[in-house]
């Protein structure tokens, strides 16, 4: 004890805080009278030193200890003789090997001396955001990724050129703190209503763990604490390339609101993340909404369906509605379900002034985009639950053949359908999101819930097949077109009238006749025109008027074309079909091929 000097501690900074040659310890156990600090020599599981807590404020035991060499020791706490790992530990020892249940978990000390070189938040507004969601390990674990540091934070850095070329400016990570992927206990998926008991592996990370510490097994370096610097390096490198970082957090029901806020504050302040994805009780979400430290941090969450939703009064517009509604509507519309035009028309324009909306057509707990056009049924047998897990309804259509096929007609139709869905994602007003691999036809072989699989099924496949290359290039061109035309991503929701007196409504719907959108239940085609001059309301240069013809019928359909304007004509910008339109000259009508999206731009008639 003589080498350590113990003094009064600060109860406000829970965990182990290293500062000026001392370490402040503050710990709030769930009951207990005798609390000690346990110190372990690096590499040993035998307790080297025990230091009893003598000071206590409320239920917080605290003390300041001078003389601890943080490079020599790890630590835990003891409560009435029971060893407890610090829930506020900034780094974890004992969980370096992925998928192996730890024998003893300890906290490691973090000095916080990373050189950020002036890094700061990018603060990209929602209307300029292009999202890309991934699992850290799964994104580069496959040999097809061809990176050096597979399945790690550094592996993502190696793939930044891909993200930049695609046009991404926000990466969302599924849980990347040190969750307990190997633990025999009940674990619940984020969305499915079925409870999953005793999983072999919790691959996704929706379970308990150590929320302050980056996941040690996601680091390429083998030394203790390597994950801390590697995660910070990932954020710094993404920021250098104008890409924001958001991370998803999973908190079990009943988690202390103070703990949740402390976790979110720490990651935003210490790791410079730009966004957080959380789904908590109403009262906790209200606290997050009102938290001044998080006022410029993007918050992704489900909208709570209550009469007085907390989300309707957000001044900073840093909240985003993240749910499957857009996906379900688009999948049903594209495969040709009836009575979808009213719903899809609302999804296309939805962009509330108080809350952003995220649009996607695939996520971690659904069919991938490719599987949504390749399978009618789910194939989750490898999960070990007799195919009883995962969503029952996938709103998918296999285009005439279940699973893998070489039939050209089927594969051509699948390409059409993938392009149609991607078009709806990137030509709608909300925040577009791609789930990792969908831009290159990643498949999970019909598994819509690989929560427990750490294999090629759950890993991103970096396909180089002809169809994958075609979809990748199409996705790039879509994103480029969206970015070039501000009217496709306005900062405020359209009003369907000419509210700024610019000559045309900001957005209008059309059908077989121009200016007459026909939303009858049997119709499966709709025209959407956007007035390019409305970009000026966002202090951007006025762009061309755009007309988007969505034909999800299985036969060609004729669209009424509004006048393109004085000395203007409609020109096909791109289409999901090689023909685009069946007429040689576009005048008052344009016939669009079956199951095709065609985009027209008003250009000079000269």
Q: What is the pLDDT of residue 258?
A: 96
Closest to 593 (Cα-Cα) out of 551, 565, 559, 563: 551
Which of 245, 178, 248 lies closest to 213, judged by CA? 178
Q: DSSP letters along 186-250, please?
A: -EE-SS-SSEE-S-S---S--S-EEEEEE-GGG-S--STTHHHHHHHHHHHHHHHTT-EEEEE--
In angstroms, rounded to a whole number, what is the distance separating the alpha carbons of residues 422 and 437? 13
- Please tell me the predicted confidence (pLDDT) of residue 455: 97
Dihedral Cα 188, 194, 200, 205, nearest 10 deg: -30
Model pTM score? 0.95
Which of 146-160, 202-216, 314-328, 444-458 has the lowest average pLDDT? 314-328
CATH of 5-108 among 3.40.640.10, 2.60.40.10, 3.40.605.10, 3.40.50.300: 2.60.40.10
Helix axes 325-334, 408-427, angle to 10 degrees: 140
Give me the mean pLDDT over the 427-454 stretch: 98
User: pLDDT at position 112, please?
Assistant: 81
Mode of pairing for the β-strands spanning 195-196 and 187-188 = antiparallel
* Pick among 3.40.640.10, 3.40.50.450, 1.20.120.330, 2.60.40.1180: CATH of 507-604: 2.60.40.1180
Q: Is 21 left (phi over 0), alpha (psi -120 to 50) or beta?
A: left
Q: Which helix (H) or strand (E) holds 288?
A: helix 282-290
Going by their DSSP bridges, the two strands 60-66 and 5-8 should be labelled as antiparallel
Q: Is the pLDDT of residue 585 over 90?
A: no
SS3 per-residue string spanning 487-517 = HHCCCCCCCCCCCCCCCCCCEEEECCECCEC
CATH 2.60.40.10 residue ranges in the chain? 5-108
Q: Give φ, ψ of 336 to 5 degrees.
A: 100, 20
* pLDDT score at 195: 45
Residue 530: pLDDT band (50, 70, 90) is very high
Residue 1 has pLDDT above 60, yes or no: no
Helix (H, G, I), strand (E, B) or coil at 84: strand
The residue written with tokens 């519309």 in the block is: 333
Give residue-wise pLDDT tens across range 194-213: 444 555 799 999 999 999 99
Tell me if 550 sits within 8 A of 572, measured CB to CB: no
478-514 residue pLDDT tens: 999 999 999 999 999 999 999 999 999 999 999 999 9
pLDDT at 191: 47
Residues above pLDDT 90, as percent of the chain: 87
pLDDT digits over 114-159, tens only? 999 999 999 999 999 999 999 999 999 999 999 999 999 999 999 9
Architecture field, domain 126-484: Alpha-Beta Barrel (3.20)
Q: Of 19-23, 250-254, 361-365, give the range with the top mean pLDDT.
A: 361-365
Structure tokens at 376: 């009618």
Give 370-411 pLDDT, tens digit per residue. Answer: 999 999 999 999 999 999 999 999 999 999 999 999 999 999
CA 518 to mean position of chain CA atoms: 35
Predicted local confidence at residue 307, as pLDDT: 40
Q: What is the pLDDT of residue 186?
A: 46
Share of the chain above pLDDT 70, in %: 95
Q: How far apart are CA 551 and CA 524, in angstroms?
A: 6
What DSSP element (H or E) covers 83? Answer: strand 82-84
Which are the contacts of 413, defined by CB distance < 8 A and separation ≥ 6? 373, 399, 400, 595
- Which pLDDT belongs to residue 55? 87
Please compute the mean of the pLDDT values over residues 525-535 and round it to a whole number.
97
Report the SS3 class of residue 550: strand
> Residue 583's pLDDT band (boundaries 50, 70, 90)?
confident
At 237-249, the pLDDT tens digits run 999 999 999 999 9
Rounded Cα distance between 27 and 19, Å, is 17
pLDDT, average across residues 94-110: 95
């Amino acid at each position: 004890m003589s080498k350590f000097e113990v003094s009064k501690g600060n109860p406000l900074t829970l965990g182990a805080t290293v500062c000026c040659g001392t370490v402040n310890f503050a710990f709030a156990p769930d009951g207990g009278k005798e609390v000690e600090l346990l110190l372990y020599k690096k590499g040993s599981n035998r307790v080297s030193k025990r230091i009893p807590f003598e000071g206590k404020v409320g239920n917080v035991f605290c003390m300041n200890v001078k003389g601890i060499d943080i490079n020599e020791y790890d630590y835990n706490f003891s409560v009435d003789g029971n060893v407890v790992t610090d829930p506020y530990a900034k780094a974890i020892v004992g969980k370096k090997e992925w998928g192996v249940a730890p024998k003893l978990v300890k906290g490691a000390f973090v000095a916080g001396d990373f050189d950020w070189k002036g890094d700061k938040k990018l603060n990209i507004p929602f209307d300029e955001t292009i999202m890309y969601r991934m699992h850290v390990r799964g994104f580069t674990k496959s040999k097809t990724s061809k990176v050096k540091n597979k399945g790690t934070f550094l592996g993502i850095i190696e793939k930044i050129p891909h993200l930049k070329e695609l046009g991404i400016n926000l990466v969302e990570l599924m849980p990347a703190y040190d969750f307990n992927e190997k633990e025999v206990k009940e674990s619940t998926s984020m969305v499915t209503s079925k409870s999953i008991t005793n999983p072999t592996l919790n691959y996704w990370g929706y379970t308990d763990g150590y929320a302050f510490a980056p996941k040690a097994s996601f680091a390429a370096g083998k030394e203790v604490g390597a994950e801390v610097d590697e995660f910070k390096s990932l954020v710094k490198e993404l920021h250098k390339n104008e890409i924001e970082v958001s991370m998803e957090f999973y908190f079990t029901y009943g988690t202390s609101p103070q703990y949740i806020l402390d976790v979110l504050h720490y990651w935003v302040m210490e790791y410079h993340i730009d966004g957080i994805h959380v789904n908590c009780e109403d009262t906790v979400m209200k606290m997050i909404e009102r938290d001044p430290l998080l006022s410029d941090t993007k918050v992704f969450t489900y909208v709570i369906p209550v009469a007085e939703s907390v989300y309707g009064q957000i001044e900073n517009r840093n909240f985003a509605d993240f749910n499957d509604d857009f996906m379900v509507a688009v999948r049903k519309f594209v495969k040709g379900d009836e009575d979808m035009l009213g719903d899809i028309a609302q999804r296309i324009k939805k962009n509330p002034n108080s809350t952003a909306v995220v649009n996607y057509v695939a996520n971690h707990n659904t069919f991938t985009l490719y599987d949504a056009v390749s399978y009618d049924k789910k194939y989750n047998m490898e999960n070990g639950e007799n195919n009883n897990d995962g969503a029952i309804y996938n709103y998918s259509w296999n285009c005439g053949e279940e699973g893998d096929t070489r039939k050209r007609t089927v594969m051509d139709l699948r390409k059409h359908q993938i392009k149609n869905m991607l078009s709806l994602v990137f030509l709608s007003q909300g925040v577009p999101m791609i789930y990792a691999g969908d831009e290159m036809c990643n498949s999970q072989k019909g598994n819509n819930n690989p929560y427990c699989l750490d294999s090629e099924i759950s890993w991103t496949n970096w396909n180089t097949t002809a169809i994958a290359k075609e979809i990748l290039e199409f996705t790039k061109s879509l994103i480029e077109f969206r970015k070039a035309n501000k009217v496709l991503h306005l900062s405020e929701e359209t009003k369907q009238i000419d509210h700024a007196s610019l000559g045309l409504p900001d957005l209008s719907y059309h059908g077989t006749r121009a200016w007459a959108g026909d939303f009858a239940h049997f119709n499966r085609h709709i025209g959407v025109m956007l007035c390019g001059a409305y970009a000026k309301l966002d202090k951007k240069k006025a762009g061309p008027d755009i007309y988007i013809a969505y034909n999800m019928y299985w036969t060609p359909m004729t669209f009424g074309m509004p006048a393109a304007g004085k000395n203007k004509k409609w020109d096909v910008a791109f289409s999901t079909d090689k023909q685009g339109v069946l007429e040689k000259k576009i005048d008052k009508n344009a016939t669009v091929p079956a199951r095709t999206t065609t985009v027209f731009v008003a250009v000079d008639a000269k």
